[in-house]
Chain A
């Protein structure tokens, strides 16, 4: 009896000790800076889902939404760094210079900048997702489901990220259907439901019966639903906004990365790095497949997903030709990350020119 009491006393002491240590270690505060409203159901919404995962892991979080990329970003960052936040995630490209500037003044605060390339100080890390892997899946589906062989694509800005997506999508679609053409409309916005819907309408009018998008709102899938064509959700599962049109969505899943990095700060193991995760690491997630897709296509997509995750299949495997027929990637080779990061030419099968 005594032994039992002592044992339970000791073990509860140990437990108490571990709990205290855990509580101390967990006393890390994370902040998130968003470009849009948390209710955009696209880019910002998904980052906020990631923030909630950090909360669920037991950390305190703060966020500021709708922060313009003007001179205001710097003030918000400085205020967050000044008010006891240990790690700050800045989730839009335009925060790149302010992030590096403020990071210099606060060497003890960690900064994580999404989609940028500048890491001027040891406390700045960058991260992005290999969305193009998801677009390989969308291209496969689009190439199979199209009847008119014209696929529409609403693009945001002519930067490598977007060009890469268009190319990856087109290559995959050509693989299953060599006759397809990808038509692009540049909306020159990341989030503008009105403009996006107009762009989708223009593409549908030109005969596109599958619409892909690289902008954030749900306007495009809703327009597709109205016109009776197929579409894909962007950033979050948009199925509920257009149940008939949406075949699947490519979801941005930031939660695991955010939890990882905040934990690293808590454990003192955080270090600067450039992260570029894809389907394999779970940063890019494919939503449920719509039942309108034939079962053999569904099986194919499932297998492709597994192969992309394991690295057996690469989205950019040669031979790849540009629009003029010049070889970009030789047969049997895959494009390296350097080439992907600076990709500014269309592959064969994309219509039109990149706006300059």
Chain B
């Protein structure tokens, strides 16, 4: 007879093994779905996960897609590790894009080395300002940060709508909802001629290194960890909770804002209504799939990025509906949460005769 027993301590090996298990189960379930839909499962999986990154261009697109996801997820892991549920990274991204886009538009007809640093900095500040709203409301007015940060996403999108339709719309653009193109000095330089991957990837890599250092080598990282386990313990230990809450929100907002900068000064080159295909929400999946660990997040962002590319390739070459990409993202998260059960419980074989 098999009995399910609670573990004394969550297993460390299983903690890092379950994301791999989740991806494996997603592939199996995905193959099954393809089979049921009438496609050859292995061929479909090949078009989904291998063909899109089989050449230099594909790899560049993969990194381009993974960069904002990684950057935002790193920022979110600061919040999530310390029990702060920032769901509004998409809003912080949008607001960062608005502020940095505004700066870029100020210089639309100018060239100069100082423009790009200004644009990048203003994007980070924009994201921080926007993230400080739920943080301050949480610390001083005890509001729920999940609701506040989430609802501010819609507010930020409406502000962006207003600006690109109205005051910031391109005067030569027949009133279509988009701004002027930024000047070349406000654009992130490309890494390779002919590929879209740009220098914004270094921002993501820097965030990975810095976050690893903070998480595992600093007092702040330790505080976050303790607060994550138990807020009461943190209080008992005398940590100044409010300061830390605001700090992690600011870091998270800065990362999301930088992701917004990367999109508009990288591949897009202007502001319009759709600066992000919901990177801020998808990054939540990335953060958890990466186990809130900087290195894990790198891998997770690559895995999730490929579901986007694969969905396009599979539709072009096999006429598989593109929305299966979202199904894959959903399945990854589902299987991850489900297999977390193994973290806390184990199966025990018991001889029933005894």
Contacts and interface: CB of A to CB of B under 8 A. Distances in A.
Interface of A: 31, 37, 62-72, 74-76, 78-80, 83, 93-94, 96-97, 117, 157-160, 188, 341-342, 344, 355-356
Interface stretch (B5-13, B202-210, B234-242, B269-277): B269-277
Contacts of A63: 315
Given A117-B174, A157-B177, A70 B312 contact: no
Given A63-B315, A70-B274, 13 more contacts: A62-B316, A62-B319, A64-B322, A70-B275, A71-B266, A71-B267, A72-B308, A72-B312, A76-B312, A94-B272, A94-B274, A160-B174, A342-B174
B274 A69 contact: yes
Interface in B301-327: 308-309, 312-313, 315-317, 319, 321-323
9 contacts: A65-B322, A69-B273, A70-B277, A71-B266, A83-B316, A96-B176, A117-B174, A160-B175, A342-B174
Which 8 A-B pairs give the minimum distances between C-beta atoms? A71-B267, A68-B277, A69-B274, A70-B274, A70-B277, A356-B166, A159-B175, A64-B315
Contact of B322 (A31, A66, A79): A66
A182 B84 CA distance: 49
B165 A83 contact: no
A64 B312 contact: yes
B33 interface: no
Contacts of B273: 69, 94
A303 B231 CA distance: 76
Contacts of B317: 83
Interface of B: 57, 61, 64, 158, 161, 165-167, 174-178, 181, 196, 263, 266-270, 272-277, 308-309, 312-313, 315-317, 319, 321-323
A79 B276 contact: no
A74 B272 contact: no
Contacts of B267: 71, 74
Contact of B175 (A31, A62, A69, A344): A344
Given A37-B323, A65-B315, A72 B165 contact: no
A66 B272 CA distance: 17
The residue among A71, A80, A158 with the most chain B CB atoms within 10 A of its own CB is A71
A185 to B, nearest CB: 15
B161 A188 contact: yes
Contact of B174 (A67, A74, A188, A341): A341
A120 to B, nearest CB: 12
A76 B313 CA distance: 8
A76 B311 CA distance: 11
Contacts of B319: 62
Contact of A79 (B165, B269, B316, B323): B316
Contacts of A344: 175
B173 to A, nearest CB: 9
A65 B319 CA distance: 10
Nearest to B308: A72
Contacts of A67: 312, 322
A159 B176 contact: yes
Contacts of A356: 166-167
A97 B167 CA distance: 21
A79 B309 CA distance: 10
Contact of A75 (B61, B174, B269): B61
A64 B316 contact: yes
A72 B277 CA distance: 8
Contacts of B167: 356
B311 to A, nearest CB: 9
Contact of A70 (B158, B177, B196, B263): B263
Contact of B176 (A64, A65, A76, A93): A93
A37 B322 CA distance: 9
A63 B275 CA distance: 23
A67 B323 CA distance: 10
A356 B175 CA distance: 10
Contacts of A93: 176
Contacts of B316: 31, 62, 64, 76, 79-80, 83
A62 B319 CA distance: 8
Contact of A71 (B268, B309, B313, B315): B268
Contacts of B161: 188
A276 B129 CA distance: 46
Given A71-B267, A74-B196, A159-B174, A355 B274 contact: no
B249 to A, nearest CB: 25
B166 A70 contact: no
A97 B269 CA distance: 10
Contacts of B176: 93, 96, 159
B168 to A, nearest CB: 11
